[in-house]
Structure 1
Amino acid sequence: MARVWTWLREDVWEIRFRRYVALSLAAVLAALGIWGGMTATKEDRSCAPGVVQPKGSDECVGVSWTTYAFGRPQFAETVQAINRENHRLKPGSYVTVALLEPFTATDADNLADVLHELQGAYLAQHQANHDANGLKPKIRLVLANPGATGAHWQQTVDRLERMTKGPDRLRAVTGVGLSTDNNKKAVKELTRRGIPVIGSSITADDLANGQNGKDPFPGLARVSPTNTDEARALASFAKVSAANAFLVYDRTGDPYTRTLQKSFEKMLTGSRYEAQPFTPPADRSKEGSTANVFAQITTILCTTPKSTDTILFAGRHTQLRQFINALGARGCVDRRFTVLTGDEGSYLAGDKELDPRALKDPLLSVRYTALAHPEAWVSDTAKTGGSAADARVLQALLDSAGREPVGPVGKVALDDGQLIIAYDAMRLAVHGIRGASPTGKIPALADVGLQWPQVKGKQLRVNGASGWICLDAHGNPYDKAVPIVELTPDSRSRFVKIAWPEGKPPAQECLPPS
C-alpha cells in the first residue's frame, strides 16, 4: 500500500510538473507572438485606419482620413494636401464630408476620373475653409472607397453612418461617380439612413428624385443634368431628325446606358430603322468581343440611304471607342456620319487606343454632352446660366495648386470636366451645411438635406464653375448648362457650344417653372 501511495504521489507530481511546463511555455510563446498563431490564427486585414481588406477580396475598402492613398501613387499628392488641410482644423470647429469614389479602380480612364474628382473636391474644401469671411463650420474631407465596382458599398455605408455620430460629425457624402447599380444601392441606403448625398457626375434618370413624382432618395442633390436633360440639350443643338438617325445601344444596360437609351428613343419616335443592340462584358471597362459586333453594325449602317447620317450611341466609353474604331474602318468610306452620345464621351480625349484614322476621317464626327468644359465660359455669350467670372474663381485656385499652402495636388487636367464638376458638388455640399446653421454652429444631420429645394433664385443659387446650380423641389438642377464637345483629329476635346435642356438659358432669377 505504501508503494502504491508513492506511485500516486509521483504521478500527481508529474501531471502538475507537465502543466507547469506547458503554461510556462505558453507564456514564453505568447510573449514572442507565436502562441496566438499556434492556437487560433487571427488574420489582420487592416490596410489603414478605417480601411480594411474584406475576406475574399484583394481591395482595401472603407473610409480613410490619413495620408493613405489606396495604393494609387497618382493620388498621393492630393491626399497629402487634404491631410494637411484637415490637420489645420481646430477640434470642434468642423464637420466632415466624405468623397465616395472607386479609389481602387484599375481601369486607367476611371483612375483619371477619380483623381480629377479628388482634386476638385479638395480645392472646394480649401476654398471653403479659407473664405475671406471666415464662414463656419469648417470642412474636413475624408475618402470613402466602396471598391473598384462598388461591390463593397454596404461596408462603406456602415462606416459612414458611424461617422455621423461622435467627433467626426459627418454631414454629407459627395462624389458617387458613375451611374452604376452598386452606386445606386449605396445612394439609396445612405439617404435611407438620413445622410445627405450630393452627386457630382451621376446622370442616370433612375438615380434622381422626382421621376413620376416620387423621391426614392430623400436628401439627394445633383449638380449634373439627367440623361434626359442632356439628350434634350443635344437635340436642341443638333436638330436631330428621327427620319435620319440610327440608335445603337447596350442591350444589358446599367442605370446610365438604360436611361440614355430611353432618352434617345424618345427623340427617335417614328424612326424608320430598328435600333441595334450590343452586349458588353459585365465589367464595361473590359474589351470583350464587342468589337466584332460593331464591325457588323457598321456594315448594316453602310446599307442605309445616305440621308441616314446621325448615330445616337447609348453605351459606356470602352464600347464607344470600339464603335468609333469600327466606323473608321467602314467599307462605305464616302459616307458621312456624326456620332452623338452622352458624357461618357469625355473619357475618349487622349485615349491612345482610339484609331487615329477614325478621328482624322473628315466624314466622321464624334460629339458628346460634357458635364463641364474649361472653355465653356471663356466669354459670357450666354448672358445667364453661368459666367466667366465664376469660372475664373476656380482657375485662380488652380494657379496656386502647384505649391504649398494649397498644393501640390499632382497633374491637373480639365478637359474631361470631372475636376470642375466635383468642385461644384463640394461647393453645393458646403452651401447646404452652412445653410442648415446660419450661426456657424454644427448643424443637425437631418437639416442639411432639407436645404436643396431652396437652392435657387439670384441670392441662393450656387454660381458654379460649370454654370449656375439652381435645384428644383427634388434636388435636380434646372436647365443646367450642357457643353457640347467634339473630339478633334488629335484626340482632344474641342468645345463647340453650350446647349440647354429648355432650349435657351434660364432667366436671371433661375426659378424652375411650376
Structure 2
Amino acid sequence: MENPFRYRVFYTVRQKIVTSTVVLALLAWGTVTVVQRVTTPEDRSCAPGVARPAGSAECVGVATAGNGYDFGQPHLTQVAAAIGRENATLEEGRYATVALLLPLSSTSPGLREKVRGELQGAFAQQYRANRRNNESPKVRLLLANTGKDNVHWKTAVDQLKAMTGAPHQLRAVSGIATSSTPVRNAVGELTRAGIAVVGTTITADDLANGPGRDRFPGLARVSPTNGDEARALAGFGRRVDATKALLVHDTRTGDYYTNSLKNAFSSLLARSPYEPVLFTSADDPNAEGTTANTFRQITHLVCDTRAETVFFAGRHTQLRQFINALGARGCTERRFTVLTGDEGSYLGADPQLDRSALDSGLTVRYAALAHPDAWRARAGYRPPATGGSADAYAEFVRTLGEVAEEPVGPIGRVTLTDGQAIVAHDAMAMAVRAIREATPPGAHVPPLRDVAEQWPRVKGSLKVTGASGWICLDNHGNPYNKAVPVVQLTRSTPRFVAMAWPEGGPPVAGADHDGCARGRSRS
C-alpha cells in the first residue's frame, strides 16, 4: 500500500515547485561562485607595495608604507619595527628616502644573519643622522626585497625607479650586498635611471667603475674590490712562498665575486708550480650540492703537493665544505694556511662548520670588510694613526647601543664580528652625506641626479670617517687604500689578526692635503 504521507509531502505540486526553486538557486549560487573565482584575480598582496609573485610564496617588492613590515621574516621583526617607528616621526615633504635593496627572504642561514646586520647598521645611521644638529633633509628608510637569490630583483627595481617623485622622494639605494648577475642587473637599471647607489659588501672588480668603463654611473662602494683584498692579503702574507702555494677556485660562471677573486689570486701565484685545483658549485651557491664529495678528493691532491698555503676563491658554503674536508685530510702531520676573501666572515656563525678542523694544523684567515677590534687599542696592538678612527668606531657603538634599547629598539640580536652592521652603517652615512651636500639652500630635497655627482668629492676633509675606516673615493666611486682587517677563524669568535692595506700601508700623515694619500708605510 502506498504511503499517503510520502505522496503528500514529496509529490504535491507545491513540493515540486519548492524543490525546483531550491535546485535552481543552488545551481545559480554555484555558477556565480565559479565565475567569481575564475574572473577575480587571487589577492596576492602582502603589504602596500609588496606582493607574492605568481608561483612564489615570497613577499617581494618595496614596503612603501615604511611602517615596519618585516616581509614575513621573524628574525627581522624587531629591527623593521624600529625603522617603522623612526619613519613615523618624519614630516611628509621634509625627508629624502633611502631604500635598502636586499634578499630579505633568503633561506640561507649566513645570508639571513648578514641581512639583519645590514638593517641594524643602516638604522643606527638613520637614527643618528636625523638627530645630528637638526640637519636636513631628514632620512626615511624603506626596505626592498629582491627575494631568495635575488630572483625578483626587477620587481623591486621597477618600483624604486617610480619612487623618485613625491611622496617618497627616493634619492639613494643602499644594501646592494652580493656580487651576482641579478645584483649587477639591478645596479645597472638603477644607475641608468639616475639613482645613486651605495654598495655595502659588493667586492667584485667587475661590479665597479673605472677608467674608460663607467658602466654604472652613480655607483659608489664602501668595500674594497677583490683585487684590493688580494693585494692587501699579499702584503700581509709577504712571506708566503708562491712556490709553496696553490689556488683552489670555483668554475661556476656568472659569479663576479668568485671570478675576480680567482683572477686576483692567480696574479699573485704566477710563480706557483701547481695548476689551479678546480671545482664547480651548484647554480645556487648557497646549496650544498655535491661539492663536499669533490673537496674530499681535492684534499688528497693538496696532500700530494709541497704547498703550505692555499688561496681559495669561492663562496662561503663551499669554503666551509673545503675546511671540513681539510680537517679530515690524510696528511694531518702537514700544516696548512687557507687565505680567502670576505665570504669567510659568514663562517663565524655557520653551525655546519667543523670547528675541530681548526685544531688539526689548519689556519683559516680571510680579508674582512670590518671588525670590531680593528680600531680599538689593546695590549699588544696599537691601531694605525691614519686610515681610520677609534673615535668613529666608538660613536657607532654608542649609537648602536642607544637604538638597541627601548623606546627606540629593540632591534634584535646584534653581531659585530662579521662586519655587516659596521659596513651598512658606513654605506648609509655615505648616502646621507651625498644627499645633504646635494641639497640646495632652502630646498627640502636635492635634485635626483645631483646626489651621485657627490662621489668624486668624497675625499680630503669630505672623506667619510666610517666605523670601518676612512672612506676616500676615487673619481669612479671606489674606495682606495681602504683598511682591510685580516681575521682568523677560531672555535669561538673570529679573531682579528692584523690590519692590511692594498697600497702596502696606511695613508702617510701629511703626505698631501687630501688626507687620503696612498702611503706605503707599514702599520
TM-score, normalised with respect to structure 1: 0.91
Structure 1 pair 202–39 and aligned structure 2 pair: CA distance change class (3 A) = closer
SS at match of 1:205: coil
| Counterpart code for 2:456 | P
Structure 1 pair 511–84 and aligned structure 2 pair: CA distance change class (3 A) = same
SS at match of 1:427: helix
CA distance in 1, matches of 2:425, 2:468: 9
CA distance in 1, matches of 2:167, 2:352: 47
Q: Is the 8 A contact 1:348 1:491 kept in 2?
A: no
Residue-by-residue CA offset, 1:460-497 (whole Å, 9 max, x unaligned)? 00000000000000000010000000011x24200001
User: More displaced, 147-156 or 110-119?
Assistant: 147-156
CA distance in 2, matches of 1:183, 1:429: 19
Residue of structure 2 equivalent to 1:123: 124
Residue of structure 1 equivalent to 2:486: 484
1:154 pairs with 2:159:
no
CA distance in 2, matches of 1:38, 1:271: 67
CA distance in 1, matches of 2:367, 2:113: 19
| Counterpart code for 1:444 | P
Q: Is the 8 A contact 2:375 2:389 kept in 1?
A: yes
After the TM superposition, which residues 297-446 of structure 1 pair with which residues of structure 2 at under 5 Å, given as runs?
Answer: 297-305=298-306, 308-361=307-360, 363-379=361-377, 381-437=383-439, 439=441, 441=443, 442-446=445-449
Residue of structure 2 equivalent to 1:6: none
SS at match of 1:476: coil
SS at match of 1:463: strand
Q: Is the 8 A contact 2:68 2:85 kept in 1?
A: no
User: More displaced, 430-439 or 156-165?
Assistant: 430-439
Q: Is the 8 A contact 1:249 1:313 kept in 2?
A: yes
Deviation at 1:29, TM superposition (A): 7.3
| Counterpart code for 1:163 | M
Structure 1 pair 194–29 and aligned structure 2 pair: CA distance change class (3 A) = farther
Q: Is the 8 A contact 2:109 2:350 kept in 1?
A: no
Residue of structure 2 equivalent to 1:504: 505
Deviation at 1:147, TM superposition (A): 1.0
| Counterpart code for 2:488 | E
SS at match of 1:99: strand
Q: Is the 8 A contact 1:310 1:337 kept in 2?
A: yes
| Counterpart code for 2:203 | T
Residue of structure 2 equivalent to 1:207: 207
SS at match of 2:78: helix
Residue of structure 2 equivalent to 1:456: 459
CA distance in 1, matches of 2:324, 2:127: 42
| Counterpart code for 2:229 | E
CA distance in 1, matches of 2:399, 2:455: 26
Structure 1 pair 269–45 and aligned structure 2 pair: CA distance change class (3 A) = same
CA distance in 2, matches of 1:384, 1:368: 22
CA distance in 1, matches of 2:196, 2:383: 35
Deviation at 1:281, TM superposition (A): 0.9
SS at match of 1:392: helix
Residue of structure 1 equivalent to 2:79: 78
SS at match of 1:159: helix
Residue of structure 2 equivalent to 1:17: none
CA distance in 2, matches of 1:193, 1:275: 41
Deviation at 1:140, TM superposition (A): 0.2
Residue of structure 1 equivalent to 2:243: 243
Q: Is the 8 A contact 1:351 1:491 kept in 2?
A: no
After the TM superposition, which residues 127-276 of structure 1 pair with which residues of structure 2 at under 5 Å, given as runs?
Answer: 127-131=128-132, 133-210=133-210, 213-239=212-238, 240-253=240-253, 254-276=255-277
Structure 1 pair 322–34 and aligned structure 2 pair: CA distance change class (3 A) = same
| Counterpart code for 2:425 | Y
| Counterpart code for 2:375 | W
Residue-by-residue CA offset, 1:232-253 (whole Å, 9 max, x unaligned)? 0000001133211110000114
Q: Is the 8 A contact 2:387 2:516 kept in 1?
A: no
Structure 1 pair 243–55 and aligned structure 2 pair: CA distance change class (3 A) = same
Deviation at 1:440, TM superposition (A): 6.1
CA distance in 2, matches of 1:365, 1:483: 16
Deviation at 1:353, TM superposition (A): 1.0
CA distance in 2, matches of 1:360, 1:351: 17
CA distance in 1, matches of 2:373, 2:37: 64
- Identify unmatched segments of 5+ residues in structure 2: 1-20, 519-523
SS at match of 2:84: helix
Among the aligned pairs, what percent are the same residue? Answer: 55
Q: Is the 8 A contact 1:482 1:499 kept in 2?
A: yes
| Counterpart code for 1:448 | V
SS at match of 2:454: helix
SS at match of 1:97: strand
TM-score, normalised with respect to structure 2: 0.89
SS at match of 1:96: strand
| Counterpart code for 1:152 | H
Residue of structure 2 equivalent to 1:61: 60
- Identify unmatched segments of 5+ residues in structure 1: 1-20
CA distance in 2, matches of 1:202, 1:54: 27
Deviation at 1:194, TM superposition (A): 0.8
Q: Is the 8 A contact 1:49 1:66 kept in 2?
A: no
Q: Is the 8 A contact 1:246 1:311 kept in 2?
A: yes
Residue-by-residue CA offset, 1:161-215 (whole Å, 9 max, x unaligned)? 11112210000000111111110110011101111100000000001000x5310
Residue-by-residue CA offset, 1:11-51 (whole Å, 9 max, x unaligned)? xxxxxxxxxx9xxx9xx979xx9586156131111111000
SS at match of 2:272: coil
CA distance in 2, matches of 1:473, 1:129: 28
CA distance in 1, matches of 2:350, 2:34: 54
Q: Is the 8 A contact 1:135 1:440 kept in 2?
A: no
User: More displaced, 118-127 or 397-406?
Assistant: 397-406
SS at match of 1:338: strand
